[in-house]
Amino acid sequence: MNLSVLFVMVMLYTMCFQVLKTQQLQVGFYRTNCSNAESIVRQEVERAFFFDDKGIAAGLIRLHFHDCFVRGCDGSVLIDSTPNNVAEKDSPANGISLRGLDVIDRAKARLEAACRGVVSCADILAFAARDSTEITKGIGWPVPAGRRDGRVSLAAETVALPPPTFNVTQSTQAFANKGLSQKDMVILLGAHTVGRSHCTSFSKRLYNFSPTTSQDPSLDPFFAWFLKSQCPLDGQGNIDPNSVVQMNRSPNLQDNSYYADISAHRVVLTSDETLNSNSQTLSLVNEYASNNTKWLIDFAGAMVKMSKIGVLTGTAGEIRSNCRVINP
Ligand code: HEM
């Protein structure tokens, strides 16, 4: 091989590498063009958490998950419906259960004032999920950034989100569809150590389980009694659609108590309870129940993995100027 061929090959390799590099997410992505980006998001998350509602942290972590599982982490969960389109946020899987949208709006408004057209809504969600984890005493992570925003949001596509009625095989498949392992799933489900659930997400387990038994036999009986007291039926046999219960005893604290709750059959969702029914997931549940630090570290790693699902980078998509509206 002569020298000029070698030179061209080296040049091509370098160019390819640079293209690849620019297409990948990078920690500190906004360092040069919007150096306060991460601190502005952080301030808005802290303001909401400390002065408004502690449950916002759980809401923001879930929002990032719901963004990433539908069309990738592209901010599509934030887009409002229009007369011609029902968006993801108005699907039954999201609807009244989403929290934290206004925190994203406030962060975005400040970011547009500070550095117009630079910081994507998808990245704001990723930063806010990390900040929410730290603020609830979890372990944070450097957020790889550079996501761009999608221009499509369809309620019908939220079928990619596993419902709370899924068994372990079905949930594992839903995560595999997004390139995540069963172990990633068990780790990420630990997010259910914070936040709340609407009674309607699990009421079938209390009142209408099967033709032969009204109550799910896998539920701890005392816990079932407690849940019924929080989610009573009205005179017509209906549950108030706005009634909620905490996910566990410490809904604003990232800790491994969720895993102990699973072993004790004191988790509200079928999809959580069902981790008991598979030897691999059960052994992970036991491992994380006995080692809080390991779970906190592994959770940070799994969140980074989740945050890379189907991202748009480079010149794909856009930087929305209002997270609720696709740019004209
Ligand atoms: C099989 C997978 C999953 C299912 C079936 C599931 C289902 C649910 C349901 C039904 C709720 C209650 C919503 C409500 O009624 O208000 C909920 C809440 C929540 N989920 Fe999940 N989830 C799953 C995975 C995840 C993952 C991977 C994360 C994050 C990494 C996550 C984070 C949360 C958080 C933080 C809440 C509390 C939200 C709040 O308080 O506003 N979930 N989940």
205-226 confidence digits (pLDDT tens): 999 999 999 999 999 999 999 9
Give the closest residue (by CA) to ligand 1 atom 2: 162
Task: List all residues whose CB is within 6 A of at least one atom of ligand 1.
Answer: 55, 58-59, 61-62, 65, 97, 99, 162-164, 166, 171, 188-189, 191-192, 194-198, 201, 269, 271
- Write down the pLDDT at residue 118: 98
Of 323, 319, 304, 312, nearest to 117 by C-alpha is 319
C-alpha to C-alpha distance for 319 and 74, rounded to whole angstroms: 10
Q: What's the gap in Å between 15 CA and the centre of ligand 1?
A: 42
Count the Cβ atoms, other than its own, within 10 Å of residue 175. 20
Q: Which atom of ligand 1 is nearest to the CA of 100?
A: 41
Task: Name the DSSP letter for residue 322.
Answer: B
Q: What's the gap in Å between 192 CA and the centre of ligand 1?
A: 6
C-alpha to C-alpha distance for 139 and 133, rounded to whole angstroms: 7
- Please tell me whether residue 96 adopts helix, strand or coil conformation: helix
- Write down the pLDDT at residue 11: 47
- Write down the pLDDT at residue 61: 98
- Write down the pLDDT at residue 13: 45
74 in a known ligand binding site: yes
- What percent of the chain has a predicted confidence (pLDDT) above 90? 92
Of 224, 255, 94, nearest to 159 by C-alpha is 94
| Low-confidence spans in the chain with pLDDT less than 50 | 5, 7-22
- Write down the pLDDT at residue 12: 41
70 in a known ligand binding site: yes
- Write down the pLDDT at residue 153: 98
Residue 220: which region, alpha, beta or left (left: phi > 0; alpha: psi -120 to 50)?
beta
- Write down the pLDDT at residue 2: 54
Give the closest residue (by CA) to ligand 1 atom 11: 197
Q: What's the gap in Å between 62 CA and the centre of ligand 1?
A: 6
Residues belonging to the active site: 66
Q: What are the structural domains of the chain?
A: 26-160 (1.10.520.10), 168-306 (1.10.420.10)
Cα dihedral 61, 65, 71, 73, rounded to 10, equals 50
- Write down the pLDDT at residue 15: 43
